[in-house]
Amino acid sequence: MIKIKLIVNGFLSNNKSLKSGKEIIELEYEKSVTVRKLMIEAKIKLEFLGLIILDGKNIDQDFLVTDSCQIKLFPILGGG
C-alpha cells in the first residue's frame, strides 16, 4: 500500500474555511501513481500550481510516485 500525504498551500486548497492557508490530504493507492493523478483526484487547482516538492526536490506533474511519501504543493503566485 502506498500512502501519500499532500500538503496543499495557499489558494490551491479547496477548503475555504482554512485560516492557516494549508490543507493536508491523505491518499492511499495499491500501485504507483503520477502526481498529476493525485492532484486531479484531490481536486487541486492545476492551473495555479507553481511548485511540487518531494524530499526537498522540485518534481513535475508526470513524476511517478512509487513509495509512501509527503508531497508539498505551492501556488504559482504568493502574497506577502
- Residue 44 has a pLDDT of 83
Q: Give the DSSP H/E element, type plus range, for residue 40.
A: helix 35-41
Of 79 and 44, the one with more pLDDT: 44
Burial of 24 (C-beta count, 10 Å sphere; 0-12/13-18/19+)? exposed
Nearest-10 Cα torsion for 39, 36, 51, 47: -80
Q: What 3-state class would DSSP assign to 19?
A: coil
pLDDT on residue 53: 97
> Could you state, in order of their start, the residue ranges of all structural domains in the chain?
2-75
Grid cell at residue 18 = 482554512
How do residues 2-44 score in pLDDT, each as one tens digit? 999 999 887 776 655 445 567 899 999 999 999 999 988 888 8
CATH T-level fold of 2-75: Ubiquitin-like (UB roll) (3.10.20)
CA distances from 39 to 76, 79, 80 (A): 15, 23, 25
CB 3 within 8 A of CB 26: yes
**Mean pLDDT to the nearest integer, 51-58:** 94
